[in-house]
Amino acid sequence: MRKTFWVWFVIFAGNVWAIGGAGLYGGWPEVFGIQFVTPEGWRMSVGLAPERGDASRYSVAVSLDLVLAAGTVYSDGGEAVDLAYYAGAGATASLLRADPEVNGHALLGLEAYFTAMKSVGFFTELQLGQRFWFAPLGTQPFLGFRVGLSLR
C-alpha cells in the first residue's frame, strides 16, 4: 500500500506543471481525490466515494468538468490575497461498485490565492445536478461539494 501511494504521488507531482495545474480535494460524494486541470479549462478528477448502501465500502469516482466562466471577485493589488470565482458543468461516474451511478452537474467555485504563494490556492466548490443509478434504476437530485488545495 505504501509503495502504491508513492507511485501515485510521483505521477501526480510530475504532472502538475506539465498539465497546467493539479490539486487535492475532499468533500461529498468523493471523500478524497486528485484532480488535474488543463489550461483550456478541462478538469479531470479521480476520487474515492462511499457506497450508497454500505458507507464502509468505497468505489472509484471519475469526473470530467469544463470551466465555462471565471473571473476575479477581489484583488488587493498584490498585497496579500486574490479571490476568484469559476463556474462550469460536468459529469461524474462512480465505477467498480455494486450499484454504479452517474451524475450531471453545474458547478460554482471560489478560490483564494495568496500573493506570496501565487501557485498555491485554496478552493471551495458547490455542485448541483441530477444523479442516476442503475441497480435498481432510479434518480434523485444531486448536491455535492469540494474543498481543497490547487497547485498551478
Q: Where are the domains of the chain?
A: 2-151
User: Cβ neighbours of residue 137 under 8 Å, at least 6 residues apart?
Assistant: none
The CATH classification number of 2-151 equals: 2.40.160
Euclidean distance between CA atoms 70 and 125, whole angstroms: 13
Query: What predicted TM-score, i.e. pTM, was given to this entire model?
Result: 0.80
pLDDT tens across the length of the chain (152 residues): 555 545 454 444 444 444 578 999 999 888 999 999 998 999 999 999 887 667 677 888 999 999 999 998 988 776 788 899 999 999 999 876 667 889 999 999 999 987 677 788 899 999 999 999 887 788 999 999 999 999 87
Q: Which three cell numbers stand for residue 93?
A: 461516474
How many Cα neighbours within 13 Å face the side chain of 97? 25
Euclidean distance between CA atoms 29 and 31, whole angstroms: 6
